[in-house]
Structure 1
Amino acid sequence: MAGDHTGRRLGVDVGSVRVGVALSDPAGVLATPLVTLDHDEAGTDLDRLVALVDEHEVVEVVVGLPRTLAGRDGPAAQTARAYAEALTGRLTVPVVLSDERLTTVTATRTLSDRGVKGRKQRRVIDQAAAVEILQGYLDGRRAARRAEDS
Structure 2
Amino acid sequence: MALRVLSKTFLSQRLTGAQRGTIALRFYATKKYTASHEWIEIDNGVGTVGITDYAQNALGDVVYVEVPEVGTQVEFDETVGVVESVKSTSDIYSPLTGEITASNDKVVANTKLINKSAESDGWLFKVKFSSQQEVDALLNESDYKMLIESDH
Q: TM-score range by the shorter chain?
A: under 0.3
TM superposition score normalised by structure 2: 0.26
Larger helix proportion, structure 1 or 2?
1
The higher-RCO structure (CA 8 Å, 6+ apart) is 1
Instruction: Give the strand-richer structure, 1 or 2.
Output: 2
Larger radius of gyration: 2
